[in-house]
A = this chain, B = another copy of it.
Amino acid sequence: MTTPLRLGIAGLGTVGTGVVRIIQNHAGLLAARSGRTITISAVSARSKGKDRGVKLDAYAWEDDPVALAQRDDVDVFVEVIGGSEGPAKLSTEAAIAASKDVVTANKALLALHGQELAEAAEAQGLLIRFEAAVAGGIPAIKALTEGLAGNEITRVMGVMNGTCNYILTRMESAGLPYETVFEEARALGYLEADPNLDVGGIDAGHKLSLLSAIAFGTRVDFANVELEGIGAISIEDIRQAADMGFRIKLLGVAQMTGRGLEQRMSPCLVPASSPLGQLQGGTNMVVLEGDSVGQIVLRGAGAGSGPTASAVISDVIDIARGNRLSTFGQPARTLRAARAAKAAVPAPYYLRMQLIDKPGALAKVARVLGDGGISIDRMRQYGHEDTTAPVLIVTHKTTRSALDEALEGFSATGVVAAPTVAIRIEAV
């Protein structure tokens, strides 16, 4: 057995303590599998005194994660602080400057600074590994970077924010409005301090941008992820979608098209019977499609101490085993700049509108769609509520721009009482 691999762990929250726990409980197993003893030299967190339910007294303590990253007795810097700036970024930069490999669970950091961090690390022959940053315990980064490395990747999809999926499935199962379930989720501690990171799709968008970079050999381009949160999804849409055999998911989709790289994180309708449609509660799913392999579906816990720590440890074991893989699966300097697709590929859309009770109202709406080249696949009109009637339309494939024009056209008809809801239907 060779020399031990010595970790410095920055951040002792849910993930950090999970990592400590695995290393303490499974020392023999990890050594048998990696061929090296894996030890912890030092740890760092904001408050030293706090009881975290794990024994830490055998490890040196650093108040400053930058100092931790620079210690001579640290081979691998494990960054589980979180946040795209501040201590997480400073200490990761310090670790690279001090010639340490880095394992991180930090999607925000890599989504915003991944390119320069990877280039800096690779210039010194160092690694940045981030399995834990995407879809928690699911080995999605490894599946894409290594398991499917022989494929031209055609599409990557994912439900990668457990909180949003919890909210959407709870709305459906309990028949509760968004606002009520949002407050429940907050009370349960499921939401980030800034809830918009979750429900605005930002956190999941960060993850999608990392998958895109690997899949398409392009620089991480979070700025061009089209983001739409779940805040506008009503219980009515969830019910109507269910009635037509669909479920609404906050779905990330990345694909390389003739017009550039398309990256979207937005609510979509997917067939209720599909693996994505079946996904309940906080579970995550990543769907990878390649020209040879077809469709691979990966499902598991997307968050939590154990699952996320499991992913961190898999990166640590890879390093212990000598697996020296580039951050994004190929040298960072060889990644191409992504040309962002201006518009999403055409898709069918679900439309829900409030039609004013006037003769010829439906014909007017249908004419707007027809004039825009949008044909109707299915339509349902329900009984009137006071002076308006809910109308549901599923279109055939159309572009979002044609649809947006039609939505504007609806207003001009004078027969639509409220803004029309439009949700993309993704073929999964």
Contact = CB atoms under 8 A, between A and B. Distances in A.
Contacts of A323: 146, 321-323, 325
A87 to B, nearest CB: 25
A334 interface: yes
Interface string A288-306: 0011111111111100101
Give the residue among A299, A318, A322 with the most B Cβ atoms within 10 A.
A299
Nearest to A299: B297
A69 interface: no
Contacts of A269: none
Given A146-B317, A148-B310, A32 B334 contact: yes
A195 B232 CA distance: 55
Contacts of A35: 330-331
Contacts of A293: 137, 300-301, 306-307, 310-311
Interface stretch (A22-30, A93-101, A351-359): A22-30
Give the residue among A150, A290, A313 with the most B Cβ atoms within 10 A.
A150
A143 interface: yes
Contacts of A322: 322-324
A314 interface: yes
Contacts of A217: 29, 32
Contacts of A131: 147
A303 to B, nearest CB: 11
A205 interface: no
Interface string A101-142: 000000000000000000000000000000100000111001
Given A137-B293, A143-B142, A298 B301 contact: no
A307 B294 contact: yes
A152 interface: yes
A149 interface: yes
A314 to B, nearest CB: 5
Range of interface residues on A (Cβ < 8 Å): 35 or more
A33 B153 CA distance: 13
Contacts of A317: 146, 149-150
A281 interface: no
Contacts of A329: 33
B150 A139 contact: no
Interface string A269-301: 000010100100000000000111111111111
Contacts of A29: 152, 217
Given A139-B143, A143-B147, A300 B292 contact: no
Contact of A26 (B34, B150, B312, B321): B150
A309 B150 contact: yes
Contact of A146 (B290, B312, B318, B330): B318
A148 B296 contact: no
A196 interface: no
For the complex of A and B, 4 pairs with smallest distance between CB atoms: A139-B147, A150-B313, A292-B306, A137-B293
Interface of A: 18, 22, 26, 29-30, 32-35, 131, 137-139, 142-143, 146-152, 217, 273, 275, 278, 290-301, 304, 306-307, 309-314, 316-318, 321-325, 329-331, 334
